[in-house]
Chain A
Amino acid sequence: MVLVEIITSEGCGFCPIAIETCRKVVQEFPQVQVKEISTSTKEGMRKSKNLDITTVPTILINGEIRFHGVPRESLLRSAIKKVIEEEKK
Protein backbone atom coordinates (compact mmCIF):
# COMPACT_ATOMS: atom_id res chain seq x y z
CA MET A 1 0.00 0.00 0.00
CA VAL A 2 1.13 3.54 -0.74
CA LEU A 3 0.24 6.36 1.65
CA VAL A 4 0.05 10.03 0.65
CA GLU A 5 0.09 12.30 3.70
CA ILE A 6 -0.72 16.01 3.58
CA ILE A 7 0.62 18.12 6.43
CA THR A 8 -1.72 21.09 6.92
CA SER A 9 -2.39 23.94 9.33
CA GLU A 10 -5.56 25.80 10.26
CA GLY A 11 -4.66 29.18 8.77
CA CYS A 12 -3.40 27.79 5.48
CA GLY A 13 -5.29 28.89 2.39
CA PHE A 14 -3.35 26.56 0.08
CA CYS A 15 -3.99 23.44 2.18
CA PRO A 16 -7.58 22.77 1.03
CA ILE A 17 -6.32 23.05 -2.57
CA ALA A 18 -3.53 20.55 -1.86
CA ILE A 19 -5.99 18.14 -0.22
CA GLU A 20 -8.34 18.35 -3.19
CA THR A 21 -5.48 17.82 -5.66
CA CYS A 22 -4.21 14.76 -3.75
CA ARG A 23 -7.69 13.24 -3.42
CA LYS A 24 -8.36 13.75 -7.13
CA VAL A 25 -5.08 12.18 -8.29
CA VAL A 26 -5.24 9.30 -5.81
CA GLN A 27 -8.62 8.21 -7.24
CA GLU A 28 -6.65 6.86 -10.19
CA PHE A 29 -4.72 4.46 -7.93
CA PRO A 30 -6.79 1.99 -5.89
CA GLN A 31 -3.75 0.93 -3.85
CA VAL A 32 -3.02 4.49 -2.65
CA GLN A 33 -4.58 6.12 0.41
CA VAL A 34 -4.64 9.79 1.44
CA LYS A 35 -4.37 11.10 4.97
CA GLU A 36 -4.55 14.71 6.12
CA ILE A 37 -2.48 15.50 9.21
CA SER A 38 -2.96 18.87 10.87
CA THR A 39 -0.19 20.57 12.79
CA SER A 40 -2.77 21.24 15.50
CA THR A 41 -2.52 17.52 16.41
CA LYS A 42 0.29 15.81 18.32
CA GLU A 43 0.88 13.52 15.35
CA GLY A 44 1.23 16.53 13.02
CA MET A 45 3.72 18.34 15.23
CA ARG A 46 5.73 15.16 15.91
CA LYS A 47 5.95 14.32 12.24
CA SER A 48 6.87 17.90 11.33
CA LYS A 49 9.61 17.98 13.94
CA ASN A 50 11.05 14.61 12.95
CA LEU A 51 11.15 15.51 9.25
CA ASP A 52 12.16 19.20 9.66
CA ILE A 53 8.94 20.34 8.00
CA THR A 54 8.58 24.12 8.27
CA THR A 55 5.89 24.89 5.72
CA VAL A 56 2.41 23.77 4.80
CA PRO A 57 1.07 22.16 2.80
CA THR A 58 3.80 19.53 2.64
CA ILE A 59 3.11 16.26 0.84
CA LEU A 60 4.71 13.01 1.96
CA ILE A 61 4.61 9.74 0.05
CA ASN A 62 5.31 6.69 2.18
CA GLY A 63 6.84 8.92 4.83
CA GLU A 64 9.20 10.89 2.58
CA ILE A 65 8.81 14.57 1.76
CA ARG A 66 7.94 14.91 -1.92
CA PHE A 67 6.36 18.36 -2.31
CA HIS A 68 6.19 21.69 -0.53
CA GLY A 69 3.12 23.69 -1.54
CA VAL A 70 0.37 22.57 -3.88
CA PRO A 71 1.79 19.97 -6.28
CA ARG A 72 0.93 19.94 -9.96
CA GLU A 73 -1.35 17.01 -10.69
CA SER A 74 1.05 15.61 -13.30
CA LEU A 75 4.03 15.74 -10.93
CA LEU A 76 2.08 14.15 -8.09
CA ARG A 77 0.84 11.41 -10.45
CA SER A 78 4.43 10.67 -11.57
CA ALA A 79 5.71 10.61 -8.00
CA ILE A 80 2.99 8.15 -6.94
CA LYS A 81 3.64 5.94 -9.99
CA LYS A 82 7.36 5.91 -9.17
CA VAL A 83 6.71 4.76 -5.60
CA ILE A 84 4.29 2.07 -6.80
CA GLU A 85 6.93 0.83 -9.26
CA GLU A 86 9.57 0.79 -6.54
CA GLU A 87 7.26 -1.22 -4.28
CA LYS A 88 6.84 -3.85 -7.00
CA LYS A 89 10.60 -4.48 -7.15
Chain B
Amino acid sequence: MYDCIVVGGGPGGLTAGFYAKWLGLKTLIITDPSKPSSLELATLIENYPGYESISGKGLLDKMRSQAEKQEVEIKEETVTSLKLKKDSKVVYTNKGEYEAKTVIISTGAEHKKGGIPGEKEFIGRGVSYCATCDGVFFKGKDVIVWGGGNTALSYATYLQNIGCKVTLVHRRKDFKASEHNVNKAKEVGVKFILERTLKEIKGNKLVSSVILDDDKEIKASAVFVAIGEVPSVEIIKNAGIKVDNANFIIVDDKRTQETNVKGVYAVGDVTNTPMRQVIVSCGEAAIAALSAYKKVKGIKEG
Protein backbone atom coordinates (compact mmCIF):
# COMPACT_ATOMS: atom_id res chain seq x y z
CA MET B 1 0.00 0.00 0.00
CA TYR B 2 1.27 3.47 -0.88
CA ASP B 3 1.25 6.27 1.68
CA CYS B 4 0.17 8.74 -0.98
CA ILE B 5 -1.08 8.52 -4.56
CA VAL B 6 -1.04 11.72 -6.60
CA VAL B 7 -3.45 11.81 -9.54
CA GLY B 8 -2.15 14.21 -12.20
CA GLY B 9 1.22 14.96 -13.76
CA GLY B 10 1.10 18.74 -14.19
CA PRO B 11 2.91 21.25 -11.97
CA GLY B 12 0.64 20.54 -8.96
CA GLY B 13 0.89 16.77 -9.30
CA LEU B 14 4.65 16.69 -9.80
CA THR B 15 5.22 19.07 -6.88
CA ALA B 16 2.89 17.10 -4.61
CA GLY B 17 4.67 13.87 -5.55
CA PHE B 18 8.09 15.42 -5.10
CA TYR B 19 7.20 16.86 -1.66
CA ALA B 20 5.45 13.70 -0.44
CA LYS B 21 8.50 11.61 -1.37
CA TRP B 22 10.83 14.23 0.12
CA LEU B 23 8.87 13.98 3.38
CA GLY B 24 9.48 10.24 3.35
CA LEU B 25 6.14 8.93 2.11
CA LYS B 26 5.88 5.95 -0.24
CA THR B 27 4.49 7.88 -3.17
CA LEU B 28 3.07 7.17 -6.61
CA ILE B 29 2.16 9.73 -9.27
CA ILE B 30 -0.37 8.59 -11.89
CA THR B 31 -0.46 10.80 -14.96
CA ASP B 32 -2.77 10.39 -17.95
CA PRO B 33 -0.62 10.00 -21.08
CA SER B 34 -3.44 11.18 -23.33
CA LYS B 35 -3.87 14.55 -21.61
CA PRO B 36 -0.98 16.99 -21.63
CA SER B 37 -0.91 19.49 -18.78
CA SER B 38 -2.15 22.97 -19.70
CA LEU B 39 1.30 24.17 -18.62
CA GLU B 40 2.74 22.13 -21.46
CA LEU B 41 0.64 24.15 -23.92
CA ALA B 42 1.47 27.55 -22.37
CA THR B 43 3.40 29.97 -24.57
CA LEU B 44 5.73 31.66 -22.10
CA ILE B 45 5.89 31.67 -18.31
CA GLU B 46 7.24 34.91 -16.88
CA ASN B 47 5.79 34.82 -13.37
CA TYR B 48 7.39 31.73 -11.89
CA PRO B 49 10.15 32.79 -9.47
CA GLY B 50 13.63 31.77 -10.50
CA TYR B 51 12.87 31.92 -14.21
CA GLU B 52 12.59 35.32 -15.87
CA SER B 53 11.19 33.64 -18.94
CA ILE B 54 10.70 29.95 -19.75
CA SER B 55 8.38 27.96 -22.01
CA GLY B 56 5.58 26.04 -20.29
CA LYS B 57 6.98 22.76 -21.58
CA GLY B 58 10.48 23.71 -20.43
CA LEU B 59 9.28 24.40 -16.90
CA LEU B 60 7.25 21.19 -16.75
CA ASP B 61 10.24 19.16 -18.02
CA LYS B 62 12.36 20.60 -15.19
CA MET B 63 9.70 19.72 -12.60
CA ARG B 64 9.40 16.18 -13.93
CA SER B 65 13.17 15.76 -13.97
CA GLN B 66 13.34 16.97 -10.34
CA ALA B 67 10.64 14.48 -9.31
CA GLU B 68 12.45 11.67 -11.15
CA LYS B 69 15.74 12.57 -9.41
CA GLN B 70 13.88 12.24 -6.11
CA GLU B 71 12.97 8.75 -7.39
CA VAL B 72 9.23 9.33 -7.23
CA GLU B 73 7.43 6.44 -8.92
CA ILE B 74 5.49 7.74 -11.93
CA LYS B 75 3.01 5.63 -13.91
CA GLU B 76 1.50 6.80 -17.18
CA GLU B 77 -2.01 5.39 -16.90
CA THR B 78 -5.57 6.68 -17.17
CA VAL B 79 -7.54 6.77 -13.93
CA THR B 80 -10.98 5.25 -14.44
CA SER B 81 -12.45 5.41 -10.92
CA LEU B 82 -11.72 6.03 -7.26
CA LYS B 83 -12.97 4.13 -4.22
CA LEU B 84 -12.43 6.28 -1.16
CA LYS B 85 -12.90 4.63 2.22
CA LYS B 86 -11.73 5.90 5.60
CA ASP B 87 -8.54 3.84 5.86
CA SER B 88 -8.05 2.83 2.26
CA LYS B 89 -8.23 4.75 -0.98
CA VAL B 90 -8.15 2.66 -4.16
CA VAL B 91 -7.29 4.23 -7.52
CA TYR B 92 -8.38 2.16 -10.52
CA THR B 93 -6.68 2.75 -13.87
CA ASN B 94 -6.81 1.25 -17.36
CA LYS B 95 -3.93 -1.01 -16.33
CA GLY B 96 -4.52 -1.92 -12.70
CA GLU B 97 -5.48 -0.78 -9.22
CA TYR B 98 -3.42 0.91 -6.53
CA GLU B 99 -4.17 1.34 -2.84
CA ALA B 100 -3.04 4.23 -0.66
CA LYS B 101 -3.62 5.84 2.71
CA THR B 102 -4.05 9.29 1.13
CA VAL B 103 -4.78 10.73 -2.31
CA ILE B 104 -3.88 14.12 -3.79
CA ILE B 105 -5.89 15.15 -6.85
CA SER B 106 -4.30 17.53 -9.32
CA THR B 107 -5.99 16.77 -12.60
CA GLY B 108 -6.16 20.37 -13.83
CA ALA B 109 -8.67 21.81 -16.22
CA GLU B 110 -9.25 21.84 -19.96
CA HIS B 111 -10.02 24.63 -22.43
CA LYS B 112 -13.62 25.72 -22.34
CA LYS B 113 -15.52 25.64 -25.62
CA GLY B 114 -17.55 28.68 -26.69
CA GLY B 115 -20.42 26.62 -28.09
CA ILE B 116 -21.15 29.01 -30.95
CA PRO B 117 -22.12 28.02 -34.52
CA GLY B 118 -19.05 27.17 -36.58
CA GLU B 119 -16.75 26.46 -33.65
CA LYS B 120 -17.07 22.68 -33.68
CA GLU B 121 -17.32 22.48 -37.47
CA PHE B 122 -14.05 24.36 -38.01
CA ILE B 123 -11.87 22.69 -35.37
CA GLY B 124 -8.68 21.82 -37.20
CA ARG B 125 -9.68 24.12 -40.05
CA GLY B 126 -8.99 27.44 -38.37
CA VAL B 127 -10.48 27.04 -34.90
CA SER B 128 -7.77 26.26 -32.37
CA TYR B 129 -7.29 26.10 -28.60
CA CYS B 130 -3.49 26.13 -28.71
CA ALA B 131 -1.52 29.09 -30.06
CA THR B 132 1.90 27.47 -29.70
CA CYS B 133 0.70 24.42 -31.62
CA ASP B 134 -1.14 26.03 -34.52
CA GLY B 135 0.02 29.67 -34.67
CA VAL B 136 2.70 28.83 -37.22
CA PHE B 137 0.06 28.14 -39.90
CA PHE B 138 -1.27 31.70 -39.77
CA LYS B 139 1.83 33.88 -40.12
CA GLY B 140 0.91 37.04 -42.04
CA LYS B 141 -2.82 36.33 -41.69
CA ASP B 142 -5.62 37.97 -39.71
CA VAL B 143 -6.49 35.97 -36.60
CA ILE B 144 -8.91 36.43 -33.74
CA VAL B 145 -8.09 35.63 -30.14
CA TRP B 146 -11.27 35.20 -28.11
CA GLY B 147 -11.04 35.84 -24.38
CA GLY B 148 -9.74 38.23 -21.74
CA GLY B 149 -7.73 36.12 -19.29
CA ASN B 150 -4.00 35.54 -19.05
CA THR B 151 -4.11 32.70 -21.58
CA ALA B 152 -5.90 34.86 -24.16
CA LEU B 153 -3.55 37.81 -23.70
CA SER B 154 -0.42 35.65 -23.86
CA TYR B 155 -1.78 33.88 -26.96
CA ALA B 156 -2.40 37.28 -28.59
CA THR B 157 1.14 38.50 -27.83
CA TYR B 158 2.70 35.24 -29.01
CA LEU B 159 0.74 35.20 -32.26
CA GLN B 160 1.46 38.86 -33.03
CA ASN B 161 5.16 38.25 -32.35
CA ILE B 162 5.36 35.34 -34.80
CA GLY B 163 3.81 37.48 -37.54
CA CYS B 164 0.04 37.07 -37.27
CA LYS B 165 -2.24 40.14 -37.38
CA VAL B 166 -4.14 39.71 -34.14
CA THR B 167 -7.47 41.13 -33.02
CA LEU B 168 -8.51 40.21 -29.50
CA VAL B 169 -12.24 40.08 -28.81
CA HIS B 170 -13.29 40.28 -25.18
CA ARG B 171 -16.81 40.58 -23.78
CA ARG B 172 -15.90 43.02 -20.98
CA LYS B 173 -14.22 46.40 -20.73
CA ASP B 174 -11.82 45.17 -18.07
CA PHE B 175 -9.53 42.19 -18.23
CA LYS B 176 -9.17 39.20 -15.93
CA ALA B 177 -5.59 39.03 -17.22
CA SER B 178 -2.75 40.77 -15.40
CA GLU B 179 -1.90 44.36 -16.32
CA HIS B 180 1.54 43.11 -17.38
CA ASN B 181 0.03 40.76 -19.98
CA VAL B 182 -2.44 43.39 -21.24
CA ASN B 183 0.31 45.99 -21.65
CA LYS B 184 2.55 43.52 -23.43
CA ALA B 185 -0.18 42.71 -25.96
CA LYS B 186 -0.75 46.42 -26.54
CA GLU B 187 2.99 47.06 -26.96
CA VAL B 188 3.37 44.47 -29.71
CA GLY B 189 0.39 45.88 -31.63
CA VAL B 190 -2.54 43.58 -30.85
CA LYS B 191 -5.86 45.25 -31.77
CA PHE B 192 -8.66 45.10 -29.20
CA ILE B 193 -12.41 44.85 -29.64
CA LEU B 194 -13.93 45.13 -26.17
CA GLU B 195 -17.44 44.67 -24.80
CA ARG B 196 -18.16 42.33 -27.70
CA THR B 197 -18.23 38.58 -28.06
CA LEU B 198 -18.29 36.14 -30.96
CA LYS B 199 -21.65 34.98 -32.27
CA GLU B 200 -20.56 32.78 -35.16
CA ILE B 201 -17.50 31.50 -36.99
CA LYS B 202 -17.90 31.38 -40.75
CA GLY B 203 -16.03 29.87 -43.66
CA ASN B 204 -16.13 27.41 -46.47
CA LYS B 205 -13.36 24.86 -46.37
CA LEU B 206 -11.42 26.92 -43.83
CA VAL B 207 -12.38 29.76 -41.46
CA SER B 208 -12.78 33.05 -43.33
CA SER B 209 -14.55 35.40 -40.89
CA VAL B 210 -16.29 35.82 -37.55
CA ILE B 211 -19.58 37.50 -36.68
CA LEU B 212 -19.67 39.59 -33.52
CA ASP B 213 -22.72 40.00 -31.30
CA ASP B 214 -23.43 43.38 -32.95
CA ASP B 215 -23.60 41.47 -36.29
CA LYS B 216 -20.40 43.05 -37.57
CA GLU B 217 -18.36 40.65 -39.70
CA ILE B 218 -14.56 40.57 -39.35
CA LYS B 219 -12.20 38.83 -41.77
CA ALA B 220 -10.12 36.14 -40.06
CA SER B 221 -8.27 32.99 -41.06
CA ALA B 222 -8.23 31.58 -37.54
CA VAL B 223 -9.93 31.85 -34.19
CA PHE B 224 -7.95 30.98 -31.06
CA VAL B 225 -10.44 30.26 -28.30
CA ALA B 226 -9.23 31.09 -24.78
CA ILE B 227 -12.37 31.87 -22.81
CA GLY B 228 -11.61 29.91 -19.66
CA GLU B 229 -11.24 26.43 -18.36
CA VAL B 230 -13.41 23.57 -17.19
CA PRO B 231 -12.24 20.71 -15.02
CA SER B 232 -13.06 17.10 -15.89
CA VAL B 233 -14.59 15.80 -12.71
CA GLU B 234 -16.88 12.88 -13.53
CA ILE B 235 -14.61 10.40 -11.74
CA ILE B 236 -14.20 12.80 -8.84
CA LYS B 237 -17.93 13.41 -8.46
CA ASN B 238 -18.66 9.69 -8.67
CA ALA B 239 -16.21 9.14 -5.81
CA GLY B 240 -18.21 11.48 -3.57
CA ILE B 241 -15.89 14.48 -3.66
CA LYS B 242 -17.87 17.72 -3.53
CA VAL B 243 -17.60 20.23 -6.37
CA ASP B 244 -19.02 23.74 -6.77
CA ASN B 245 -21.53 24.95 -9.39
CA ALA B 246 -18.77 25.30 -11.97
CA ASN B 247 -17.54 21.74 -11.22
CA PHE B 248 -14.37 22.78 -9.40
CA ILE B 249 -13.46 20.70 -6.31
CA ILE B 250 -14.35 22.53 -3.11
CA VAL B 251 -11.34 23.06 -0.87
CA ASP B 252 -12.45 25.18 2.06
CA ASP B 253 -9.45 24.69 4.31
CA LYS B 254 -6.44 26.28 2.64
CA ARG B 255 -4.27 25.17 5.59
CA THR B 256 -4.65 21.54 4.53
CA GLN B 257 -6.08 21.44 0.95
CA GLU B 258 -8.38 18.67 2.19
CA THR B 259 -11.64 17.97 0.35
CA ASN B 260 -14.87 16.83 2.02
CA VAL B 261 -13.40 13.29 2.01
CA LYS B 262 -10.87 12.76 4.81
CA GLY B 263 -7.41 11.95 3.54
CA VAL B 264 -8.21 13.21 0.04
CA TYR B 265 -6.64 16.51 -0.96
CA ALA B 266 -6.94 18.60 -4.11
CA VAL B 267 -4.66 21.24 -5.59
CA GLY B 268 -4.38 23.62 -8.53
CA ASP B 269 -6.74 24.31 -11.41
CA VAL B 270 -9.15 21.48 -10.58
CA THR B 271 -10.10 23.24 -7.33
CA ASN B 272 -12.06 26.37 -6.46
CA THR B 273 -8.75 28.19 -5.99
CA PRO B 274 -8.99 31.99 -6.34
CA MET B 275 -5.95 32.10 -8.68
CA ARG B 276 -5.15 29.62 -11.46
CA GLN B 277 -1.38 30.02 -11.70
CA VAL B 278 1.51 27.55 -11.75
CA ILE B 279 2.96 28.91 -8.55
CA VAL B 280 -0.37 28.58 -6.74
CA SER B 281 -0.70 24.94 -7.85
CA CYS B 282 2.82 24.24 -6.60
CA GLY B 283 2.24 26.00 -3.28
CA GLU B 284 -1.03 24.17 -2.70
CA ALA B 285 0.72 20.91 -3.64
CA ALA B 286 3.37 21.40 -0.96
CA ILE B 287 0.64 22.03 1.64
CA ALA B 288 -1.33 18.96 0.49
CA ALA B 289 1.80 16.78 0.70
CA LEU B 290 2.40 17.97 4.25
CA SER B 291 -1.23 17.25 5.14
CA ALA B 292 -0.89 13.73 3.67
CA TYR B 293 2.28 13.25 5.69
CA LYS B 294 0.52 14.31 8.92
CA LYS B 295 -2.41 12.03 8.14
CA VAL B 296 -0.15 9.01 7.48
CA LYS B 297 1.92 9.66 10.59
CA GLY B 298 -1.13 10.39 12.75
CA ILE B 299 -0.05 13.95 13.55
CA LYS B 300 -2.99 16.18 14.40
CA GLU B 301 -3.47 19.55 12.69
CA GLY B 302 -2.89 22.57 14.83
Taken residue by residue from 106 to 136, chain B's Cβ proximity to chain A (1 for < 8 Å, 0 otherwise) reads as 0000000000000000011110101111111
Chain B residue, CB-CB nearest to A49: B137
Please tell me if B205 contacts chain A, counting CB pairs below 8 Å: yes
Q: Known contacts A17-B33, A17-B36, A53-B137: does B57 contact A11 (CB below 8 Å)?
A: yes
Please tell me if B167 contacts chain A, counting CB pairs below 8 Å: no
B222 contacts which chain A residues (CB < 8 A)? 54
Taken residue by residue from 50 to 75, chain A's Cβ proximity to chain B (1 for < 8 Å, 0 otherwise) reads as 00111110100000000011100000
Please tell me if B34 contacts chain A, counting CB pairs below 8 Å: yes
A14 contacts which chain B residues (CB < 8 A)? 36, 130, 133
Q: Once the chains bind, are A13 and B126 in contact (CB under 8 Å)?
A: no
Q: Known contacts A12-B132, A56-B133: does B205 contact A68 (CB below 8 Å)?
A: no
Q: Once the chains bind, are B124 and A39 in contact (CB under 8 Å)?
A: no
Please tell me if B217 contacts chain A, counting CB pairs below 8 Å: no
Chain A residue, CB-CB nearest to B129: A55
Q: Once the chains bind, are A55 and B36 in contact (CB under 8 Å)?
A: no
Which of B34, B55, B138, B206 sits near A11, CB closer than 8 Å? B55
With A and B bound together, what is the CA distance between A51 and B131 in angstroms? 20
Q: Once the chains bind, are A13 and B137 in contact (CB under 8 Å)?
A: no
With A and B bound together, what is the CA distance between A70 and B36 in angstroms? 11
Which of A13, A17, A55 sits near B57, CB closer than 8 Å? A13
Q: Once the chains bind, are A52 and B206 in contact (CB under 8 Å)?
A: yes
Q: Once the chains bind, are B37 and A55 in contact (CB under 8 Å)?
A: no
B37 contacts which chain A residues (CB < 8 A)? 13
How far, in Å, is A7 (CB) from chain B's closest CB?
A: 10
The bracket for how many chain B residues form the interface is 20 to 34
Q: Which of B9-49 contact A (CB under 8 A)?
A: 33-34, 36-37, 40-41, 43
Taken residue by residue from 1 to 35, chain A's Cβ proximity to chain B (1 for < 8 Å, 0 otherwise) reads as 00000000111111101001000000000000000
Chain A residue, CB-CB nearest to B122: A54
Q: Once the chains bind, are B36 and A13 in contact (CB under 8 Å)?
A: yes
Q: Once the chains bind, are A54 and B128 in contact (CB under 8 Å)?
A: yes
Q: Known contacts A11-B43, A13-B133: does B36 contact A54 (CB below 8 Å)?
A: no
Q: Once the chains bind, are B125 and A13 in contact (CB under 8 Å)?
A: no
B138 contacts which chain A residues (CB < 8 A)? 54
With A and B bound together, what is the CA distance between A52 and B222 in angstroms? 12
Q: Known contacts A17-B33, A48-B137: does B124 contact A54 (CB below 8 Å)?
A: yes
**B interface residues with partner A (beta carbon < 8 Å):** 33-34, 36-37, 40-41, 43, 55, 57, 123-126, 128, 130-138, 205-206, 222
**A interface residues with partner B (beta carbon < 8 Å):** 9-15, 17, 20, 39-40, 45, 48, 52-56, 58, 68-70
Q: Which 6 A-B pairs have the closest CB atoms?
A: A11-B132, A13-B36, A68-B124, A13-B40, A12-B133, A55-B124
